[in-house]
Amino acid sequence: MIIVLLGPPGAGKGTQGERLAARLDVPKIATGDVLRAAVRDGTPLGLEAKAAMDRGDLVPDDVIMGIMKEALASPAAAKGAILDGVVRTTPQADGVAAMLSDIGRKVDAVLLFDIAEDELVRRLSGRTTCDNCQRPFFGREPGELCAVEGHVPTGTLVRRKDDEPDAVRKRLQVYRDQTSPVINWYEEHGPRVVRIDAIGSLEEVEARALQVLGY
């Protein structure tokens, strides 16, 4: 299955994407991750992307879609993939659909992690982020070490300016402006968007998503 995840910042879709990927034994694919990997590996499209970044330009959409196409056509994604943060606008939804069609695949499910704005503001205002690996933490204070179980600490936790309450509300407004048309796009072109209640423990939210997917 090719599964697209939607949801506002702080809804937990990144964490749930990792959990679903592990449960379904498929890769979680994010645009930034595959772009960095292609640049690191020096693939032809990766070199093209690097040249654009070195010039200070945005990486062209066709290059990004080409890199995504390579990732989704790889043996690792033979059983499917979780697309996290790949579709944020209607042109991206259209681009992903066309790219998947080229390799004989399609989006099979769209999950929207749904949560009230006040809860998101509360969550994000209490979030800290590792200044090295960018991993988010909740209930941890700035200045603490980024200690992930089984790993040597790699950085220090900081509170990002865009996690302040006013900044969070602005981010949520941008998200709503971008995502409402995406939801409408999928409702028109398929598959339908299924809302997942994102309030609860990680296990509870994961169970809701798996139930929708038939597991």
The two structure tokens encoding residue 47:
């070199």
Asked if 23 contacts 215 with a C-beta cutoff of 8 angstroms, the reply is yes
**Percentage of the residues of the chain whose pLDDT score is greater than 90:** 53
Output phi, psi for 173, to 5 deg: -65, -40
Contacts of 104 (CB under 8 A, 6+ apart): none
| The predicted structure's pLDDT at residue 110 | 97
Asked if 64 contacts 35 with a C-beta cutoff of 8 angstroms, the reply is yes
Known catalytic residue: 192? no
User: Which pLDDT tens digit goes with each residue over 125-152?
Assistant: 888 888 887 788 888 888 898 876 556 6
| The predicted structure's pLDDT at residue 184 | 93
The burial class, CB within 10 Å (0-12 / 13-18 / 19+), for 58 is exposed
User: Which pLDDT tens digit goes with each residue over 154-208?
Assistant: 789 998 888 888 888 988 898 888 888 999 999 999 899 999 999 999 999 999 9
Known catalytic residue: 88? yes
| The predicted structure's pLDDT at residue 137 | 84
| The predicted structure's pLDDT at residue 152 | 66
| The predicted structure's pLDDT at residue 162 | 81
Known catalytic residue: 55? no
| The predicted structure's pLDDT at residue 153 | 67
Say which residue the tokens 């936790």 belong to. Answer: 157
Count of Cβ atoms closer than 10 Å to residue 61 Cβ: 11
List the catalytic residue out of 50, 88, 106, 195.
88
Asked if 5 contacts 26 with a C-beta cutoff of 8 angstroms, the reply is no
User: Which pLDDT tens digit goes with each residue over 81-102?
Assistant: 999 988 988 988 999 999 999 9
Contacts of 50 (CB under 8 A, 6+ apart): 39
Single pTM value for the model:
0.81
Known catalytic residue: 160? yes
List the catalytic residue out of 106, 122, 140, 160.
160
List the catalytic residue out of 69, 105, 171, 208.
171
Q: Which amino acid is at 192?
A: R
Q: Which domains does the chain have, with CATH numbers?
A: 2-26+79-116+177-213 (3.40.50.300)
